[in-house]
Amino acid sequence: MKIKHQLAIFNALTRLLVILILWLMLPILVENVVYRHINNGLLEKKHKFIEHLNKSEIDDFIENSDDSTETYSQFSTLHSEFLVLSRSPIKANQKKAVFSNEFRIIEGEESEYRILQYHFTYEKQGYQLEIGSSLSEINDLTFIIRFFIIIVFVVILLITFLADTFYIEFLLKPFYKIIDTKIRRVNEPESFDHTPIKARSRDFRELDFVLNQMMDRIAELFKKEKQFISNVSHELLTPIALLKSKFENLLQNDSLDDNAFDKIAGSLRTLDMLKKIINNLLLISRIENNQYEANEVINFHEIITDLQEDLQDRIEDREIQFLNKMQHDYIFTGNKTLIHILIYNLVTNAIKYNKPKGSIVVEDGFLEHRYFISITDLGIGMNASQIENIFNRFARISSDQDGQGLGLAIAESIASFHHIEIKVTSQINEGTTFMLLLPEMTKHN
Amino acid sequence: MNILIVEDNKELAVEVYDFLCNVGYVCKIAHNCADALEEINSNDYDAMLLDLGLPDGDGFEVLQTVRKTKSKIAVIVLTARGELDDRINGLHLGADDYLTKPFALTELSARLFAVIRRIHGFTLNSLSIHGFLLQLQDYKVSYDEIPINLTKKEFDIFQYLVLNKNRVITRLQLTEHIWGDILEVNSDSNFIDVHVRNLRKKLDKHRAIDWFETVRNVGYRINE
C-alpha cells in the first residue's frame, strides 16, 4: 500500500473515532443543557405559584378539603405542561424539591415528563406540588439534531478524506519523481540528471540533494576507474609492444641457430597470450565500467552469417556441420562489437568442445514473449557443477583444453550489460545448449 | 617517404625506427607533444605514427593541431586498447588509421603502405615479385598476364608477405592480419597453413617458388 493511501486512511479513521465519541456524547450533552433549562423553568413556575399562594387558591385547587388524597390538576391544552397539588404529610429528611423523569397518563395520553416535586407546608398542612413539562418535543429535537450532525460529519469526513488524499499526493509527488528520474532510469553515473527536483517539503529537497551528492561520488569513482583502466592498458601494453617488436626484429637475424629461433618464436606466442589476457580483462572492466554505447541496431541473422564465414576454416578443419536454423529477423538495439564478441565466444566454444564431425545448431524463437537465440553443440557436455563455474574468470571445463577461460566470463559481462539472460543446459557426452534470452520490449525501438 | 614517430617509450621508438628505416623510410623520433609539433612545423612529413599517452599532453592535441595546418600527412594512431573512446575519436579527428598496442611491425608497415597510397591518390597500384603482378585495387594476381584465381584470404596473405619481403612473418602475425585482432586466447593458428598451402599450389603452377620459404615451422618468408 502506498504511503498516501495509508496516511489518508489513518486520518479518516482518527476522524471517524472523534466523530463516534462526539455522537455518543451528544445525548448526554443535550440532556444536560436541556434539563437545566427545563428545571429552571419549572422552578420559576413553582416560585410564581408559591408567591401567589393563599388559602382560597389552595381550596380552588383542592375542592374537597377533607380528603387528603384529593388532588387538583391543571393542564395546558396541548398537555405540554401540568400542575398537580395534593395534600401530603411531610416526612422527615424529605427534600424540598426533587426533579425526575416520569411517564404520566394525562387524559388517556401517555408521554414523558420532566417533573418537579415540591413539598411545602401551608398553615400547618403539608402539600405536594408537582409541576411537569413534556419531554416529547425535546426528544424529537434531540433526535433531529443527532441525525443532522451525523450527516454533517459524514460530509466532512468525505471532504477531508479527499482533500487529504490529494494533498498528500501533491506532497509526495517529488518523492516519486526522484525515484523515477534519479534512481530507476539511471544506468550509469554520467547520464545522471543533476537538476534539482522542485519540492515543497524540505525533506524531499534534502533527499534529492543527498542523492545528487551520492551520484557525484559514484561518478567520481567511475571516472577514476576509467582513468585507471586507461592507464593500465597504456602502461602494460606499451612494454609488450616493445618486446614484441624486439623479438620480431630478432627473428630476422640469419645468424640465429634453430634453438634460439624456436625460443624467440615461443616467446612471441607467450607475449601474444599475455596481450590477449590483458585485453580480455580490460574488456570486462570496460563493460562493467559502462564505457560502451548501446545504441546500434543489431541484426542477429547478419551476425551469425558473418561469424560462420569468419570461422569457416575452423569449422571445416574439425569437419563440423554448422546449421543455421534462424527464422526471425529480430532487431535489437545494443553494442554491435560486444554482441559480436558474445556470439563469437559462444560459437568458438561450441567448435572447441564439439566432437569431430559433430554439429552446431543455431536456432531462434520466442519464449514467453522474449526473443531467444540458442547455440547447441553435440560436444562433450558438462555436469551441473561444471555449469555453475563456467562463467567464472579463468575457469575451464577440462585442463587439457587450451585458452584461458575468459571467453564465457566476457560473454556473461556482455549479456548482463545488455540485460540478456544466458541459460545453459548440458548433458555429459550429449552436448550443450547456450540460450540467449533477450529482454522484453526491445523490438523495433 | 618521411615518417615522424611520436612515442614516449624510447626503446619502442627505436625498434620502430630501426624497422622502418630498414624497409626504406626516412624516420625521425619525437618523445613528446612539444617535440612532435616542432618537428611537424619545421619539416615535411608524409606520415606520422602517433602514440596517445605522451608525457606532456594528449596525442590528440597534436593530431588536432596538425590537422588544422597539414592535410596531406597520413596519421596512424598507436593506442592501447583500453582507450576505446580515443579510438573512435581518433578516426573522427582525422587519424587515417589506428593500431592497437602491441602491434606487429610488419602490420604497421602494411598499414602505412595502405594509408600513404590512399593519401597520394592511389598512385601505386601494383606490386610485383618474381614476375607475379599484384593489382592492389581489384585484388587480382597475374603472371605473364595470365590471371591467377586467388581467394580474398590468399590474396591478403600474398600481399602481406610481398610488402614485408625478406622478413620472417610468423603464423601469429599472419593470423592477426587476416582475422584481425581476435580476443580469443587460442594460439592454434594452423588454419593459416591451409591458405598458404593453397596459395603456393596456385603460384607453383606458373613458376618454381623456392623464394617462398617456410621458416622452421614458425612462419613464412618471401625473398626477393
Contact A244 B103 (CB under 8 A): yes
Distance from CA of A303 to the nearest CA of B (A): 15
Q: Extract the runs of DSSP E, i.e. beta strands, from A337-413.
A: 359-367, 370-377
Residues 6+ apart with CB under 8 A from B216: A258, A261, A262, A265
Contact B53 A245 (CB under 8 A): no
Query: Which whole number is the average pLDDT over A267-277?
Result: 88
- Pairing between strand B146-148 and B140-143? antiparallel
Residues 6+ apart with CB under 8 A from B141: B132, B133, B134, B135, B147, B148, B150, B155, B158
On the question of pLDDT at B153 being above 70, the answer is: yes
pTM, 2 dp: 0.68
Contact B167 A252 (CB under 8 A): yes
How far, in Å, CA of B158 to CA of B162, rounded?
6
Q: Does B191 touch chain A (CB under 8 A)?
A: yes
Strand ordering across the sheet containing A125-134: A71-75, A81-87, A125-134, A109-122, A97-106
On the question of pLDDT at A443 being above 60, the answer is: no
Confidence of residue A314 (pLDDT cuts 50, 70, 90): confident
Give per-residue pLDDT as tens, A47-69: 888 887 777 777 766 655 444 44
DSSP three-state, residue B26: strand
Distance from CA of A258 to the nearest CA of B (A): 8
Contact A345 B184 (CB under 8 A): yes
How far, in Å, CA of A231 to CA of A234, rounded?
5
Contact B80 A238 (CB under 8 A): yes
By C-alpha distance, the chain B residue nearest A225 is B82
On the question of pLDDT at A257 being above 80, the answer is: yes
Whether B93 and B60 have beta carbons less than 8 Å apart is answered as yes
The mean pLDDT of chain A is: 83
On the question of pLDDT at A379 being above 50, the answer is: yes
The reported pLDDT for the residue numbered A442 is: 45
Residue that is written with C-alpha cell 387528603 in the block: A68
The reported pLDDT for the residue numbered B89 is: 58
Q: Which of B105, B187, B191 sits opposite A314 (nearest CB)?
A: B191
On the question of pLDDT at A445 being above 60, the answer is: no
| Nine-digit cell string for B31 | 618523445
Tell me the domains of chain B and their CATH numbers.
2-120 (3.40.50.2300), 126-222 (1.10.10.10)
Q: Does B178 touch chain A (CB under 8 A)?
A: no
Give the residue among A332, A339, A353, A304 at the shortest CA–CA distance from A422.
A339
Query: How many Cβ atoms sit within 10 Å of the Cβ of residue A103?
Result: 9
Contact B81 A282 (CB under 8 A): yes
How far, in Å, CA of A254 to CA of B21, rounded?
19
Say what percent of chain B tops pLDDT 70: 89
Task: Give chain B positions within 8 Å (CB) of A317.
Answer: 190-191, 194
Mutation target among B9, B12, B154 for the A interface, most CBs of A within 10 A: B12
On the question of pLDDT at B83 being above 60, the answer is: no
